[in-house]
Amino acid sequence: MAEANKNIRNFCIIAHIDHGKSTLADRILEKTETVAVRDMEEQLLDNMDIERERGITIKARAVRLKYTAKNGEEYIFNLIDTPGHVDFNYEVSRSLAACEGAILVVDASQGIEAQTLANTYLAIEHDLEVVPVVNKIDLPSADPERVCSEIESVIGIPAMDAPRISAKTGLNIEDVLEKIVTDIPAPSGDTEKPLKALIFDSYYDSYKGVIIYIRVMDGTVKIGDTIKLMSTGAEFTIVEAGHMDASSLVNSGELKAGEVGYLSASIKSIGDTRVGDTVTLADNPCEEALPGYRKVNPMVYSGIYPADGAKYGDLRDALEKLQLNDASLSFEPETSIALGFGFRCGFLGLLHMEIIQERLEREYNLDLITTAPSVIYKVTLTSGETVYIDNPTNYPDTSLIQQAEEPMVKADILSPSEFVGNIMELCQERRGIFKDMQYLDDTRVTLHYELPLNEIVYDFFDALKSRTRGYASFDYELMGYSPSKLVKLDMLLNGEIVDALSFIVHIDKAYGRARKIAEKLKENIPRQLFEVPIQASIGGKIIARETVKAMRKDVLAKCYGGDITRKKKLLEKQKEGKKRMRQLGSVEVPQEAFMSVLKLDS
Amino acid sequence: MDSLGIYIHIPYCAKKCPYCDFFSESYNKKSVMHYTESVVRNLKYYSRERIVDTVYFGGGTPSLIPAECIGKIIDSVRENFILSENPEITLEVNPNTVNADKLADLYSMGVNRLSVGVQSLVTSELKTLGRTHSAEKAVETVINAEKIGFKNISCDMIIGVPNQTIESIEYTIENLCKLPVTHISSYILKIEKNTPFDNPDFISHMPDDDTVSDMYLFMVNELEKRNFMQYEVSNFAKYGFQSNHNNKYWKCHDYLGIGTSAHSCFEGKRFSVPPDIKSFNENAFQKTVITDENPCGFQEYAMLRLRLKEGIDVSKHPEIISKTPELLKAGYINFDGKKISLTPKGYLMSNSVIEYLVF
């Protein structure tokens, strides 16, 4: 271990949503006086509005702190924030690769949750030292002893001496800081070796260009150096190098092995700076790149269209900008007869999809229409060829299909035992295959199911929450494909298939879904000049039908003493109003109709 | 050049009806005399060698003002234009404002067509509509007018009134048609912005659109059964008694409007006069606001003509013909290969149908 690094600690905090990760981060910033108390805003590290509102972290972020330990020595802490949700596992693994240790925050009353487990295992896989902390001990329902023994029995790490804290009140925060010093190892690495640094995050700054966050593994990098990004071979000259304060970048000119910091090198395109890539020096490169991250594959796809077709270019720009700091977002242009030009976007999961949509609408002020989320189906054609389908529109004709397979997930559901019946019922409805059930303690169980991904992309999480009064938590990982009786369900308006409303569904579910969607459409399509037959069909066979009756009265009866201009203006205004609807053949469909079928049970 | 219609707006009412958004003020003899002079002055201003074959006194309540004022105006038309041999001179009448003598005076001044604001012959409906006259008074007015010599009498009625029923409409139609009436205008009650009826309580009591549509189709059928043939969305006439004046509106013919809030389509422009009696009286000539520099284009022509039973010739408009099959299937139009006209069901949806065809 290099002597210079012995007082550096690189760590992250992992926790289930709501267990207090961001609050703990805030307290650590405060205690180390990184932020003056007067500048304290709640959830300082979560600087996106959505993050603060939802109380979650979407993006990884890093900050450098100074701490004088009880042994009298001064330490440098690099705290790398991580998202808690399973959808953002990719981002978590990026953060973990830059750290030597992880603080595991567990709620003193709720105990271990599914996401806690998933992220802890991820940390252990990365050889991190896991430091358990029991939070919210100020709550009356807190039971830190039970939670500590749960951590020992479920995760298998010693926890009896875990700090018992209240991040909210600030109680025992010093214990956490001391644990970081004593339990988390200092980074290794050799400053004499050629530069080898890992990019774990990046974002675009309109003045400085792309800012990359790195963890230096070996060597040194300073202003004026020419760096090389190993996967692309692109070279840049360093303009700034330094570390991250709680709210700004501090250009200290140099970063050394073991340190976490940022580089700015007038990089114009985010495409050049793939997160997970290795940075080295152009004139003294290291021999091989760091392993990087496992490539993430989107699990859920959805079409995103601008409500106003003229905003297509704006949508593309917005997606490109979002992709700059969300490498897991993928998109490519697609065309829908119903919705015009838009993009097929791939997401890590449902929350990820929602977050992206919300950011597009809020940060880029776009009005969007999104199609129902779809998973990727694997279809073996009669020709023997295998195709992967992420857009129902491209689903082959039944006669060409030898075998269809759908993605399955391994789901862990943690819940108080009283809700087991409800959960089993729900999983049954969603075509789940029960694997086993374990008691975590007297009152809590974990249920293991295999579930088709397409059954959970809609509203599984909401349904689970409502059937367990919000107590159950849920996590899943993709386990592979399994053969399934799938059909493509088309919705027809006035006899014409509306491509944006087609979806793939298990044959046993097709009828129920078809009826619900037809009803929703009927509710949301206004009566108009002609009656609108709504039909659902599978392979040309109609399985559900509704009708929006024609409007009956739309007339200006009076002659207004020859005031013709007034009449004409009324008609022109009416015409203008209809432009806000999608014209499908002779049917006018408001945006709400497209949106309503996405939320069938609400 | 086509013959001209002249519209005279009389902006006075004894009491404003709660559904009406036409401009009017309360009656005041001095103001009326002044206003009459202003109308006469304006007629002089527009004086032309043009044949005038219709004069229409609308309001407001034209029957409220002294017959001599109406007479002065008619005389002025005669002096400043070429009044045709058998002009149609219509006056809107509120039954409560006229007795036999006044009707006789109006007749002697040259008025030969009355448009009587009957609205309904059901007392409760008249009350709901805020009308002050009784059903009996309305009937008496029509009978008196006929006795005096009026041979062309139109009555207004309204459907879509709260608590109205198919039966009550039948009652009004049946009894109206027993009278010496030649023409019926039947309007669907529409709530105009900022009128007393424009309130949630009143609106919540109105029959819904489906019910009103049934009422309308019933009404068309009942009137036609009694030889009042529909010739426009809201107008029905016995053979030979269509309103020549109102037809000018739908046929893009010239009409000149004199008086506050009067509208004109005159010698190539549409214009209107601001609703301000003081300004109208004080200006040598009425101020006009041009509302359309280029009226009577095809779109407007079609929009107006499609209100008429005779419809429009579309033989030179393949883009319109291509839209006919769906409309035919839905029963909104008649199409003989050359002319399109709306059916009663089509009239009910005329905004959408016209917009679909030509906008």
Domain boundary among B249, B282, B306: B249
On whether both B78 and B175 belong to a single domain, the answer is yes
Is residue A169's pLDDT more than 80? yes
Residue B280 lies in a domain: no
Secondary structure (DSSP) of A130-145: EEEEEE-TTSTT--HH
Of A551, A561, A570, the CB nearest to B22: A561
Choose the mutation target among B352, B353, B358, B359 for the interface with A, i.e. most A CBs under 10 Å.
B352
Q: What is the pLDDT of residues A214-224, one digit of tens each?
A: 999 999 999 99
Would you call A561 and B359 a contact, using CB atoms and an 8 Å cutoff?
no
On whether both B12 and B160 belong to a single domain, the answer is yes
Average pLDDT, chain A: 84
On whether both B245 and B315 belong to a single domain, the answer is no
Would you call A564 and B295 a contact, using CB atoms and an 8 Å cutoff?
yes
Would you call B355 and A528 a contact, using CB atoms and an 8 Å cutoff?
no
Would you call B330 and A550 a contact, using CB atoms and an 8 Å cutoff?
yes
Task: Give how far B137 is from chain A: nearest CA, Å.
Answer: 25
What mean pLDDT do residues B267-285 have? Answer: 94
| B290/A268: higher pLDDT | B290
What mean pLDDT do residues A506-521 have? Answer: 92
Would you call A551 and B209 a contact, using CB atoms and an 8 Å cutoff?
yes
Residue B113 lies in a domain: yes
Would you call A558 and B234 a contact, using CB atoms and an 8 Å cutoff?
yes
On whether both B89 and B16 belong to a single domain, the answer is yes
On whether both B81 and B217 belong to a single domain, the answer is yes
What mean pLDDT do residues B223-249 have? Answer: 97
Query: Which residues of chain B are within 8 Å of residue A562 when distances are taken between CB atoms?
Result: 7, 248-249, 255, 257, 263-265
Report whether A415 contacts A396 (CB < 8 A).
no
Interatomic CA distance for residues A343 and A330, integer angstroms: 10
On whether both B229 and B127 belong to a single domain, the answer is yes
Would you call B209 and A552 a contact, using CB atoms and an 8 Å cutoff?
yes
Would you call B213 and A571 a contact, using CB atoms and an 8 Å cutoff?
no
Choose the mutation target among B326, B349, B353 for the interface with A, i.e. most A CBs under 10 Å.
B349
Task: Give how far A490 is from chain B: nearest CA, Å.
Answer: 24
Output the pLDDT for position B61: 95
Count of the separate structural domains present in chain B: 2
Residue B209 lies in a domain: yes
Residue B278 lies in a domain: no
Would you call B348 and A556 a contact, using CB atoms and an 8 Å cutoff?
no
On whether both B207 and B85 belong to a single domain, the answer is yes
The CATH number of whichever domain residue B323 belongs to comes to 1.10.10.920
Task: Give how far A563 is from chain B: nearest CA, Å.
Answer: 6
Report whether A533 contacts A494 (CB < 8 A).
yes
Average pLDDT, chain B: 95
Range of the structural domain that residue B239 is part of: 4-249
Would you call A555 and B349 a contact, using CB atoms and an 8 Å cutoff?
yes
Output the pLDDT for position A233: 84
Of A552, A562, A568, the CB nearest to B263: A562
Report whether A369 contacts A594 (CB < 8 A).
yes
CA A448 to chain centre: 23
On whether both B351 and B228 belong to a single domain, the answer is no
The CATH number of whichever domain residue B14 belongs to comes to 3.80.30.20
Residue B260 lies in a domain: no
Per-residue confidence band for B303, with pLDDT thresholds at 50, 70 and 90: very high
On whether both B157 and B243 belong to a single domain, the answer is yes
Residue B274 lies in a domain: no
Q: At CA B127, angle to CA B121 and CA B131, rounded to 5?
A: 80
Of A530, A551, A556, the CB nearest to B326: A530
On whether both B337 and B221 belong to a single domain, the answer is no
Output the pLDDT for position A284: 86
Among residues A82, A90, A86, the alpha carbon closest in space to that of A51 is found at A82
- Between the CA atoms of A120, A126, A131 and A134, what dihedral angle is there, to the nearest 10 degrees? -20
Per-residue confidence band for B311, with pLDDT thresholds at 50, 70 and 90: very high
Q: What is the pLDDT of residues A266-311, one digit of tens each?
A: 887 766 777 778 899 998 888 887 776 555 667 788 999 998 888 9
On whether both B16 and B76 belong to a single domain, the answer is yes
Would you call B326 and A586 a contact, using CB atoms and an 8 Å cutoff?
yes
Q: State which residue of chain A sits closest to B356, comparing Cα positions.
A: A529
Interatomic CA distance for residues A307 and A340, integer angstroms: 9
Residue B267 lies in a domain: no
Whole-complex ipTM: 0.91
Helix (H, G, I), strand (E, B) or coil at A178: helix
Output the pLDDT for position A602: 36
Query: Which residues of chain B are within 8 Å of residue A570 when distances are taken between CB atoms?
Result: 351
Residue B353 lies in a domain: yes
On whether both B302 and B244 belong to a single domain, the answer is no
Tell the burial category of A506 from Cβ atoms under 10 Å away from its Cβ (0-12, 13-18, 19+): middle
Of B212, B248, B355, the CB nearest to A553: B212
Question: Helix crossing, A564-578 with B298-305: angle to 10°?
Answer: 100
